[in-house]
């Protein structure tokens, strides 16, 4: 792994990011509220929007996903699609907001790949190359690509694909250490990410299974990659990126948050979502997060069942107080 001194920044084209840790884009998860919560703890990491459909962008249907505040920067906007000209126009449309334009070539969701978007582009390298070249020629901000190891295990083409990404002009590449068909099962292959790092000149960012400081250290050690992108690890733990950065700067591993701290963060996250969306919609949006914040406590299922059915803040606060009493 790089020395601590060398591990403090990442050069992505013309952009210097004063952290090698970034947030991986997650649909329905990395909204402006979660990004701002993470930014409260991590001042320098590269944050990322949810995936933005290029076609929807051109029809002005993605406006809520574009919402952000200046202090979120550096902020990467991720776009998806399979039409080079349309992708270029979509990138131009949001360029003024973005520190980076990221192209999604790794989403494994069937509703995405069935349209020829996301990870399906790993099966069509000539088209993927045209998309990268078109976007790169259309904007002045750095352009990055996120992909996987390939479509499935018999068709892993991550080395060839990554070389194409670099040759097509991308300024960096993020690789999730699984194939499309693996989805999120099994174990991310950090050695494969290391193989890519050994053959590319542009920065290589590793992604997959980075759920703790220790996992981040291991990923960096095994892959020797230039940076890491944390996805599911921030769910219920928005301070994780800060703790990773703290280790990279000091060599000290801070303790993971206990249930009391997680409940405090949950209340904060919920209050911000309610402030942003209103009480009804904020609570409904947060239901997916409840289980992550209260994981690993005794009798979690009874509380989870009630939390996802609560209709107002008073009900939720009463349940939170029961949980706090339960774990004392």
Q: Supply the residues annotated as catalytic.
A: 107
Nearest to 172 by CA among 9, 14, 24, 13: 13
Listed in sequence order, the residues at least 6 apart from 270 whose beta carbon sits closer than 8 Å to its beta carbon are: 282, 283, 286, 313, 316
Question: Would residue 119 be called left, alpha or beta, if left means φ above 0 and alpha means ψ between -120 and 50 degrees?
Answer: alpha
Q: Are 101 and 135 in contact (CB under 8 A)?
A: yes
Q: Are 180 and 108 in contact (CB under 8 A)?
A: yes
Phi/psi of residue 12, nearest 5 degrees: -115, 95
User: What is the distance between the alpha carbons of residues 134 and 121, in angstroms, rounded to a whole number?
Assistant: 15
Nearest to 108 by CA among 196, 184, 52: 184
| Bond before 241 cis per omega within 30 degrees | no
Q: Are 33 and 42 in contact (CB under 8 A)?
A: no
């Amino acid at each position: 792994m790089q020395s601590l001194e060398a591990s403090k920044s990442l050069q992505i084209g013309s952009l210097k990011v004063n952290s090698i840790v970034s947030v991986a884009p997650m649909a329905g998860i990395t909204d402006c509220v979660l990004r701002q919560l993470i930014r409260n703890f991590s001042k320098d990491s590269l944050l990322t929007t949810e995936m933005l459909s290029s076609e929807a962008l051109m029809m002005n249907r993605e406006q809520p996903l574009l919402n952000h505040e200046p202090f979120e920067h550096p902020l990467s906007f991720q776009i998806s699609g399979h039409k080079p000209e349309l992708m270029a126009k979509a990138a131009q449309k949001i360029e003024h907001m973005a520190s980076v334009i990221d192209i999604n070539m790794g989403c494994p969701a069937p509703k995405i790949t069935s349209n020829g978007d996301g990870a399906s582009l790993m099966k069509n390298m000539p088209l993927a190359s045209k998309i990268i070249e078109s976007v790169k020629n259309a904007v002045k901000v750095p352009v990055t690509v996120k992909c996987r190891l390939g479509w499935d295990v018999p068709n892993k083409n991550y080395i060839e694909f990554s070389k194409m990404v670099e040759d097509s002009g991308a300024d960096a590449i993020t690789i999730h250490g699984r194939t499309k068909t693996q989805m999120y099962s099994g174990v991310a292959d950090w050695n494969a990410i290391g193989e890519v790092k050994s053959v590319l000149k542009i920065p290589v960012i590793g992604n997959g299974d980075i759920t703790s400081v220790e996992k981040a250290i291991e990923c960096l050690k095994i892959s020797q990659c230039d940076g890491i992108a944390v996805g599911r690890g921030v769910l219920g733990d928005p301070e994780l990126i800060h703790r990773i950065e703290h280790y990279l700067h000091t060599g000290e591993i801070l303790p993971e948050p206990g249930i009391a701290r997680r409940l405090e963060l949950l209340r904060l996250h919920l209050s911000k979502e309610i402030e942003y969306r209103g009480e009804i919609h904020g609570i409904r949006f947060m239901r997916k997060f409840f289980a992550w914040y209260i994981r690993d406590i005794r009798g979690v299922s009874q509380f989870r069942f009630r939390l996802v059915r609560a209709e107002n803040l008073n009900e939720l606060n009463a349940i939170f107080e029961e949980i706090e009493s339960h774990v004392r």
